Chains A and B, each alone.
Chain A
């Protein structure tokens, strides 16, 4: 079956540091890849997505590139802020060759803490 593996943390960084959160996946079809973010006390929000190999998703200074050859979708940001403190989830949705799909498959989440 499909699966997503990401570093679990917590990851603690100082403000303005460079961020990388690793994510790798296994899928049997043609997956689209996502990063969701969950701020304290809130539901999940889509941060960025990529729907095919070599696509780069970007939003709010975050980026991730869909690497089919390494089955990876690592999240990066050049300079983090205290307001980026949250839980980040890597996820995929796998499309079958006939066009159907199941729900999103999530990683376990990475708790990011940014210190001033």
Chain B
């Protein structure tokens, strides 16, 4: 089975901190994604990556950056955390452009105080 692992289930950070959310997949998938999930808003795409060192902005990239130095790892970075970034963050991966099933991690619940 494909496994997508997010490094933390719960995080509490202070306003202004630099925050790293890590995601690792174990099935050699080309595509990786970061979403945030908020009540009443569903899932919104922050960034995605189709290859190592490659990244594309999603619908809500402001305040975030990403890093993909290795194929299996995709990091989401909050440069200066703010309270409006309190949310559930979901990482996903998929094999390639035509194999579209996405596999999700269990999520990281981030609270910024």
Contact = CB atoms under 8 A, between A and B. Distances in A.
Q: Do A and B interact with each other, yes or no?
A: yes
Interface stretch (B12-20, B62-70, B78-86, B97-105): B97-105
A43 B41 contact: no
B45 A103 contact: yes
A49 B100 contact: yes
Nearest to B56: A102
Interface string B82-113: 00000000101000011011111111000000
Contacts of A32: 100
A109 B33 contact: no
Given A43-B104, A100-B97, A108 B48 contact: no
A106 B97 contact: no
Contacts of B90: 43-44
A42 B90 CA distance: 10
A101 interface: yes
B61 to A, nearest CB: 12
A106 B43 contact: yes
Contacts of A34: 100-101
Nearest to B42: A108
B48 A102 contact: yes
B41 A108 contact: yes
Contacts of B98: 99
A109 B44 CA distance: 12
Given A43-B105, A44-B104, A103 B58 contact: yes
Interface of B: 4, 31, 33, 35, 40-45, 48, 56, 58, 90, 92, 97-98, 100-107
Given A8-B40, A36-B104, A101-B97, 8 more contacts: A34-B100, A41-B106, A43-B106, A44-B43, A44-B92, A49-B100, A99-B97, A104-B102
29 contacts: A34-B100, A34-B101, A36-B104, A41-B106, A43-B104, A43-B105, A43-B106, A44-B90, A44-B92, A46-B101, A49-B100, A51-B100, A89-B42, A95-B97, A99-B97, A99-B98, A100-B97, A102-B56, A102-B58, A103-B31, A103-B48, A103-B58, A104-B45, A104-B102, A105-B45, A107-B42, A108-B40, A108-B42, A109-B43
